[in-house]
C-alpha cells in the first residue's frame, strides 16, 4: 500500500484528495498552473491576468477567470434629507456618511434620497452592499470623488473644503485617511460653461457649471499599486463631514442638492462558472 492509499483511509484526507486530483467532479477547487509570484507580478504591473487550471492529461488548459475594465461606484445625496426635496438652508449635519454599504435595489433613503425608492445603477453598481460577492474580485488603480453634472461651483467648493475621505477594510482592521476630497479630483463633469452666472440685458442667464477638478479622465489620482478587493472581503469608504467651513467657521449652506459619487476604476475579475 503506497502512502496516498494509506492516507485516503482517514476520510478527511480522502475528500481532500478528491478535490486535488479530481476524482469527483463539481467540487469547485482547482490547482492553478500560475505561480503566486506570476499572479502578483501581473497585478502589480497592471497586465492582463489569466488564471489557468492545472490541466489533466490529454486536456488543455482551462481559463477560470474573466477580466474586464470598469468602474466600482457609490453615490449619496447631500444634504441628507429623506423627508422631501426641499433644500431649505442647505446645511450639512456633521458626522460620518458611508459609501458602498448599499447595493442595487436597496432603499434610496439609505443614501440620502427622497424620490429614489430603490437604488439603481445610476447610484451604484454594488451587487451586495459592503461586501465583495463570492467569485468576484477587483484590482482598482484610480480613485476619484465627483459630483452631479448640474452641481454649482459654490456648492461643490463648500463640500470639497468640509468633506474628509476615509477607507476601511475588514471591519476597520485597515483604516486609511485620504484627507479632504479636493485631493481626489473627479475627472468628470460638464465643460464649456462659465464658473459664474452672467447677466445680459437685465436678464440673468445661469450658465454656471462646475466639477471637482478638471472634467478630464486623465486628471484623476492613480495608485502605483492597485487596491485589491477579494471575494467575501468587507470594505467601505466614508466621508466625514464638517458642518462649518474651516476658513471662517460659518455654516455650510448649499443652494441645491448635490450628489457625491466615489468611484474607483480598474480590473474586475469574475469566476467563470464551471
Residue in 111, 114, 131, 119 with CA at minimum distance from that of residue 239: 111
Q: In a 10 Å sphere around its CB, with 0-12 CB exposed, 13-18 middle and 19+ buried, how is residue 124 labelled?
A: buried
| pLDDT score of 32 | 57
| pLDDT score of 57 | 46
Residue 33: which pLDDT band, with cuts at 50, 70 and 90? low
Interval 188-247: pLDDT, tens: 877 666 656 666 555 555 566 677 777 777 888 899 889 999 888 899 999 999 999 999
| pLDDT score of 109 | 95
Contact 43, 228 (CB under 8 A): yes
Q: Is the omega angle on the peptide bond into residue 79 within 30 degrees of 0, that is, cis?
A: yes
Q: In a 10 Å sphere around its CB, with 0-12 CB exposed, 13-18 middle and 19+ buried, how is residue 193 labelled?
A: middle
Interval 139-176: pLDDT, tens: 999 999 999 988 888 899 999 999 999 999 988 899 99
CA dihedral 74, 75, 78, 80 (to 10 degrees): -70
Q: What average pLDDT does the segment 12-16 reach?
A: 56
Contact 249, 48 (CB under 8 A): no
Interval 92-120: pLDDT, tens: 999 999 999 999 999 999 999 999 999 99
- How far are the Cα atoms of 195, 211, 263 from residue 206, in angstroms, in the given order? 10, 16, 29
Helix (H, G, I), strand (E, B) or coil at 218: coil
Amino acid at each position: 500500500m503506497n502512502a496516498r492509499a494509506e492516507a485516503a483511509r482517514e476520510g478527511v484526507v480522502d475528500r481532500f484528495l478528491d478535490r486535488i486530483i479530481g476524482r469527483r467532479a463539481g467540487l469547485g477547487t482547482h490547482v492553478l498552473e500560475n505561480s503566486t509570484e506570476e499572479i502578483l507580478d501581473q497585478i502589480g504591473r497592471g497586465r492582463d491576468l489569466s488564471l489557468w487550471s492545472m490541466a489533466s492529461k490529454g486536456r488543455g488548459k482551462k481559463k477560470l477567470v474573466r477580466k474586464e475594465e470598469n468602474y466600482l461606484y457609490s453615490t449619496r445625496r447631500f444634504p441628507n434629507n429623506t423627508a422631501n426635496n426641499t433644500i431649505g438652508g442647505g446645511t450639512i449635519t456633521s458626522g460620518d456618511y458611508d459609501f458602498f454599504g448599499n447595493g442595487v435595489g436597496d432603499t434610496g433613503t439609505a443614501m440620502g434620497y427622497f424620490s429614489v425608492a430603490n437604488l439603481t445603477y445610476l447610484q451604484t453598481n454594488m451587487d451586495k452592499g459592503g461586501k465583495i460577492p463570492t467569485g468576484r474580485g477587483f484590482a482598482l488603480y484610480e480613485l476619484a470623488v465627483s459630483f452631479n453634472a448640474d452641481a454649482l461651483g459654490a456648492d461643490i467648493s463648500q463640500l470639497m473644503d468640509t468633506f474628509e475621505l476615509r477607507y476601511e477594510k475588514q471591519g476597520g482592521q485597515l483604516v486609511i485617511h485620504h484627507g479632504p476630497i479636493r485631493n481626489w479630483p473627479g475627472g468628470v463633469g460638464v465643460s464649456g460653461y462659465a464658473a459664474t452666472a452672467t447677466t445680459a440685458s437685465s436678464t440673468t442667464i445661469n450658465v454656471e457649471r462646475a466639477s471637482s477638478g478638471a472634467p478630464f479622465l486623465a486628471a484623476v489620482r492613480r495608485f502605483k499599486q492597485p487596491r485589491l478587493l477579494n471575494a467575501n472581503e468587507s470594505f467601505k469608504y466614508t466621508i466625514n463631514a464638517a458642518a462649518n467651513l474651516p476658513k471662517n467657521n460659518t455654516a455650510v449652506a448649499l443652494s441645491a442638492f448635490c450628489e457625491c459619487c466615489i468611484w474607483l476604476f480598474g480590473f474586475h475579475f469574475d469566476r467563470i462558472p464551471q
